[in-house]
């Protein structure tokens, strides 16, 4: 069965500090990997995606993520967090073999303290 694990439900970081959000997946096929961000009551905004090729992916808003096949991980990073980054972050996995539907992790709520 396909599954995505985001082990951290909440994370609090100080403004200007670095950030890493963890994501691990279990998939029986070559995965496509995504990070989405959601503000309260809003839809999902795509931060970045990995299909193939370079395992370090650059996204919007200064975010990046690294695909590590050996660890089944796709962690999201940002070198310096801004107060406006406070939101919920979802890791998602899809695969052509499963019709490209997305399976989401449970999400990580990011709080930024000034």
Q: Residues interacting with other proteins, by CB under 8 A?
A: 32, 34, 36, 41-46, 49, 51, 90, 94-96, 99-107
- As measured in angstroms, the least distance from the Cβ of 13 to other proteins is 21
Q: Least Å distance between CB 98 and other proteins? A: 8
Judged by beta carbon, residue 79 or residue 101, the one nearer other proteins is: 101
For other proteins, which is the closer residue by CB, 49 or 77? 49
* Beta carbons within 10 angstroms of residue 75's beta carbon: 17
Residue 7's φ and ψ, nearest 5 degrees, are -70, -20
CB closer to other proteins out of 14 and 42: 42
Nearest approach in angstroms of CB 111 to other proteins is: 15
SS3 10: strand
Measured from the CB atom, the residue of 3 and 80 that comes closer to other proteins is 3
- List C-alpha distances in Å: 8 to 20, 23, 96: 10, 9, 28
CB of 78 to other proteins, least distance (A): 21
Closest by CA position to 38, among listed 97, 110, 99: 110
Give the SS3 label for residue 69: helix
Cross-strand bridge partners of residue 96: none
């Amino acid at each position: 069965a396909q599954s995505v694990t985001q082990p951290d439900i909440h994370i609090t970081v100080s403004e200007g500090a670095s950030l890493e959000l963890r994501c691990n997946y279990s998939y029986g096929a070559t995965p496509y990997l995504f990070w989405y961000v959601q503000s309260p009551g809003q839809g999902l905004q795509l931060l970045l995606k990995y299909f193939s090729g370079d395992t370090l992916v650059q996204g919007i808003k200064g975010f990046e993520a690294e695909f590590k096949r050996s660890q089944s991980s796709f962690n999201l990073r940002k070198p310096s967090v801004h107060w406006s980054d406070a939101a919920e972050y979802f890791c998602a996995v899809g695969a052509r073999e499963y019709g490209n539907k997305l399976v989401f992790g449970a999400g990580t709520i990011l709080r930024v303290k000034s």
